[in-house]
Structure 1
């Protein structure tokens, strides 16, 4: 017999975590389903928390390097990356412990496994080791986040060509890095590695990065970025990316230009993570922007199923502003990199 809950949350990232806690505080019987053995989702383990930790430490190292001659010391590049990764894991571990304690304190049942909709009140759970279970609920919240968008002509191997999740697994600083894309993720990582002394080339098909910002801000960003010794290549269409089998990643552009680098980051944005969720079984589908459409209360087309977080795209109140390109600086890191 399947176990019944008032609310089942699928995904333990910021949206899922907060939905579960609020439901528990409203005296509901809550289950939190997570496919990873750790809580927090991509935000904690592969996205926001790691990248912001890396950014802050990169700024500290850049400051130390700037004053190295004054204090007569030097920083070994291999030690720099090792220290950055070690500190990043410490921050992630602390955040994971905090979330675990919060879930336990609020008596939320944690379920390790992959969820798949059977109908609007039922999900199957595939657990580690091959075991399965079935759960029912009055309400569901889909908070499964997003995954890096894959580009047809770019094969990500996570060793030479990375995406925005696997870039954090790089264990040493390359001398050169190519970043494809001009959005928030591309601009942030390009800036971080440039600040660490890596020669970065950022290539984008648009005339300027961060196109949702005012042109004066993006001009300042590009100026600060190139002041670090980096390059921004606008209006460029990438036709092919491949590792040469020896030591370099080759990026070929439509106009015949070739760029070479030790590593490459493909940052083509992110798409809703619904793999295996079988939302079509309840009559849901992604819209033309690749996200689950919801109303202003985050309710989907199915009355008892809600969705929140990256799986529904950026905050809805920002979309009209972005389209007019009059958004003020909405990401704190922009102030740091636009000097």
Structure 2
């Protein structure tokens, strides 16, 4: 068998792989991407970000409809089940796949479907469905194979009542009750999504508070609104075993607590997709969570093999993975990269309401003895929020008392993940350009949610003495 030769081979077509491929294609490299799934886009498109956020959007529309007094006389005519809402995401997924495949075709990138297995450090075998194989050789490789939900070996994930964040999207009914084990981003998102469908939800957290990397005031608000939806939150719990029968599934915790519901959603941890790739045979050994160690340039122990995205661990965000891929593409094409990835990037959490933040929290600033003040705007006072009916939430700016430098932005409420970018742009400025007064001296469209920055900035300046 004669191997086909390329300059670079990218393994995986999620955000990290796509970012690397597009950068390398623009640099004129002869390039191939290998995708194990039957369509491009990776887990982000098919099982993660896109379907879960489309599902959330559909449920938000349903909640808005039920809340709107204009439609009170027709609400009893609407009976929507979980699978109906999932089908609404199919069109988005198909559009994303077509768009991404067009990118590859337009840039003359060979897309090869099959599983990549390293035979030598510069040679892989692609194992196609049906047993066909093909050998590909390259000077460089970028591994962007993503991650999958972590499965403890003592839990039967083949049982129809036990789901992870991938397989929950295949539910064919709306469960009456659900226990979510793991209260990270995925667990909190699904708790709020299913809580909005009037499912009885238990959210079992292994830590002492939700999403402890966020500002305490934001997580307190999230906890309050989850409980308002009927979600039962239990902190500092560790599972002991899982028991299933015909009537339901029981999560037994080491504290002695038991949670019996129709379905168990396991949302505790993820594992890098590095299995059966022959990495150990060429000197690359993933860690216990299937992740690869990389240096500051995303090179593995073999410098010609790079790794990006979820397969290298945190932050495991689609946005950050794409930027890592572009960085690697530039590094491979030029032998170096004259730009660096930003250290602070926004976090978007699509609960109901959604959360977004960038920069430091009050807890971190206090621990660092930095003199800061809080500027805050409640959405209930913003005209646009009153018009749309989304008055729950707030914009919170943390700024230096003396220089007025913006140190952190924390937003809870409708459009939080969009709103945060305005503040991010000002935070990224150097010196005096990063100043709270920008928001008081700028004219915002009215009525908009962006106006919250002006309201918050005035609030913050009034706190100074």
Fold agreement, TM-score > 0.5: yes
Classify 1:158/1:74 alpha carbon distance in 2 versus 1 (closer, same or farther; 3 Å).
farther
Offset, 1:66: 2.4
The aligned length equals 330
Q: Distance between the aligned counterparts of 1:231 and 1:295, measured in 2? A: 42
Offset, 1:248: 1.2
Q: Distance between the aligned counterparts of 2:314 and 2:225, measured in 1? A: 27
SS of alignment partner, residue 128 of structure 1: coil
Offset, 1:273: 0.5
1:1-339 equivalences under 5 Å are: 1-67=2-68, 71-74=72-75, 79-157=80-158, 159-244=160-245, 246-287=246-287, 290-315=290-315, 330-333=347-350, 336=354, 338-339=412-413
Q: Distance between the aligned counterparts of 1:307 and 1:328, measured in 2? A: 20
Q: Which runs of 5+ in 1 are unaligned?
A: 319-326
Q: Distance between the aligned counterparts of 1:75 and 1:148, measured in 2? A: 38
Classify 1:289/1:125 alpha carbon distance in 2 versus 1 (closer, same or farther; 3 Å).
closer
Q: Distance between the aligned counterparts of 2:274 and 2:173, measured in 1? A: 33
Classify 1:118/1:231 alpha carbon distance in 2 versus 1 (closer, same or farther; 3 Å).
same
Q: Which protein has greater RCO, CA pairs closer than 8 Å, 6+ apart? A: 1
SS of alignment partner, residue 219 of structure 1: helix
Further displaced range: 305-314 or 329-338: 329-338
Q: Tell me the TM-score normalized by structure 2.
A: 0.67
Q: Distance between the aligned counterparts of 1:291 and 1:300, measured in 2? A: 11
Q: Distance between the aligned counterparts of 2:34 and 2:213, measured in 1? A: 35
Q: Distance between the aligned counterparts of 2:35 and 2:346, measured in 1? A: 33
Q: Tell me the TM-score normalized by structure 1.
A: 0.91
Classify 1:332/1:150 alpha carbon distance in 2 versus 1 (closer, same or farther; 3 Å).
closer
Further displaced range: 193-202 or 327-336: 327-336
Q: Distance between the aligned counterparts of 1:134 and 1:74, measured in 2? A: 59
- Tell me if the contact between 1:213 and 1:329 (Cα under 8 Å) persists in the aligned partners: no
> Which residue of the partner structure matches residue 338 of structure 2?
none
- Give the greater-gyration-radius structure (CA): 2
